[in-house]
């Protein structure tokens, strides 16, 4: 199971919207009684003259991420990295990225990073919601995170591609159980968009992620308020697809949103063995 972290589905990396490449090493997520399989995605957005990496992947996935960046950037330097929030699966490769690309600018809500990674302080550049970063023919806009765990979380949006990057928002487990005998990434699963999956996402898989990663959803009966705000944002920005860190790339957001919303509702008062 641990070798999951060194591998990427053979379907990936793939371009999921113009200039937006999805890479993901699936990670084992350990529960009290079993291990499940979930995405830990990283997205590269490339414009005419600059590029931005959205989330860094988990430290254990560095070799595959580094190799994939070499292929995608073809000798160019990475210009920006946008860590959505300071947790290892989202931020853990920042020191290695700065070592590999010494000029890279780390942009976003960079509070606390000077305590965690003193060696990257010169690369840190604070950005607030509404700020935009020019990539050449494409802009990456920082957006307030409407669904989050840590307070210093941000989302991002690339208008020209219609893609909203939502960190821990819109996440779900793509396969609830994995037997030891199963191949780690089933063909036609890890690297497919939600529009391509043969079966729609199960509400249970969304509830599961929400109840464990977004623990507050167990106490706050606010799913409708939260997702109404998200839908408003989707309309306002003109979002056509959603790129979560832990879940398949969502190409049919209007179909998927009600499932995630229902999962969030089910997470309220959710009490199970998993913490």
Partner 1 sequence: MNSRTIQPPGPSRTRARAIAAAGARDLIGDRVYRLGADILVDENVSWCPPGIRTTQPVNCYVIKGFGGSVLVDTGVRLHETEILAQLDAVLEPGERLAVVLTRTEMECCLNLPAIEARFDVESVWYTGGITVPRTTAEPRRIMVNPGTSQLVEVIDGIKLEFVSPLMRLLPTLWIFDPVSGALLTSDAFTHGSYRRTPDGLGASDGLCKFRWFSEADTRGIAADVESVVRERQVTAIGPGYGEPFIGVAQCATESAALAAAIREVGVQ
3-state secondary structure of 60: helix
Task: Kindly give, in sequence order, each residue whose CB lies less than 8 Å from that of residue 239, ignoring residues fewer than 6 positions away.
Answer: 157, 162, 163, 164, 233, 253
Nearer to partner 1, 138 or 261 (CB): 261
- Give the helix/strand (H/E) hosting 36: strand 35-46
Q: Pick the closest to residue 113 from 144, 156, 81 (CA basis).
A: 81
CB under 5 A: which stretch of 26-34, 67-75, 195-203, 220-228 binds Zn ion?
26-34
Question: What part of residues 180-239 is at the interface with Zn ion (CB under 5 A)?
Answer: 185, 190
CB count within 10 Å of CB 92 equals 22
Residue closer to partner 1 (CB basis): 49 or 269:
269
The DSSP code for 2 is: G
- Our finding on whether 55 is near Zn ion (CB under 5 A) is no
Question: Which one of partner 1, Zn ion, none is in contact with 219 (Cβ closer than 5 to 8 A by kind)?
Answer: partner 1
Closer residue to Zn ion (CB): 12 or 135:
12
The count of C-alpha atoms lying within 13 angstroms of the C-alpha of 29, restricted to the half-sphere facing its C-beta, is 23
**10-39: which residues touch partner 1 (CB under 8 A)?**
27-32
Per-residue binder mask for partner 1 (CB under 8 A), 101-130, x = binder? --------x-xx-xxxxx------------
Judged by CB under 8 A, the residue of 59, 162, 176, 195 near partner 1 is: 59
Q: Phi/psi at 244 (nearest 5 deg)?
A: -85, 160
Task: Decide if residue 267 touches Zn ion (CB under 5 A).
Answer: no
Does position 58 interact with partner 1 (CB under 8 A)? The reply is yes
Q: Which stretch binds partner 1 (CB under 8 A): 62-70, 74-82, 143-151, 174-182?
A: 143-151
For the chain, the maximum distance between any two Cα atoms, rounded to a whole number of angstroms, is 50
Residue 154 engages partner 1 in binding (rule: CB under 8 A): no
- Residues, the chain: 275
Contact stretch for partner 1 (CB under 8 A) within 15-23, 53-61, 74-82, 136-144: 53-61
CA distance 226 to 223: 5
Angle at 185 between CA 184 and CA 186, to 5 degrees: 115
- Binding to partner 1 by residue 1, rule CB under 8 A? no
Residue found by looking up tokens 């396969």 in the block:
175
- Binding-site residue total for partner 1 (CB under 8 A)? 40
Interface residues toward partner 1, by CB under 8 A: 5, 27-32, 58-60, 86-89, 91-92, 109, 111-112, 114-118, 149-152, 212-213, 215-216, 219-222, 271, 273-275
């Amino acid at each position: 199971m641990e070798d999951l972290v060194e591998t990427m589905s053979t379907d990936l990396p793939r371009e999921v919207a113009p200039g937006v490449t999805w890479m993901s090493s699936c990670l084992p997520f350990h529960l009290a009684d079993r291990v499940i399989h979930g995405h830990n995605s990283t997205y590269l957005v490339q414009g005419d003259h600059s590029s931005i990496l959205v989330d860094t992947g988990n430290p254990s996935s560095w070799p595959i991420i580094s190799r994939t960046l070499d292929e995608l950037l073809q000798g160019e330097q990475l210009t920006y990295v946008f860590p959505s929030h300071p947790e290892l699966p989202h931020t853990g490769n920042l020191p290695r990225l700065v070592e590999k690309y010494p000029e890279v600018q780390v942009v976003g809500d960079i509070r606390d990073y000077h305590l965690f990674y003193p060696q990257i302080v010169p690369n840190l550049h604070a950005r607030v919601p509404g700020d935009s970063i020019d990539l050449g023919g494409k802009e990456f806009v920082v957006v307030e995170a409407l669904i989050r765990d840590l307070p210093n979380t941000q989302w991002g949006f690339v208008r020209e591609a219609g893609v909203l990057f939502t960190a821990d928002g819109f996440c779900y487990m793509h396969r609830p159980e994995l037997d030891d005998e199963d191949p780690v990434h089933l063909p036609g699963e890890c690297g497919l968009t939600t529009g391509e999956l043969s079966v729609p996402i199960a509400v249970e898989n969304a509830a599961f992620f929400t109840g464990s990663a977004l623990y507050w959803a167990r106490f706050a009966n606010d799913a409708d308020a939260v997702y109404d705000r998200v839908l408003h944002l989707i309309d306002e920005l003109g979002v056509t697809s959603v790129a979560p860190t832990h879940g398949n790339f969502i190409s049919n957001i209007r179909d998927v949103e009600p499932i995630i919303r229902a999962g969030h509702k089910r997470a309220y008062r959710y009490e199970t063995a998993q913490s």
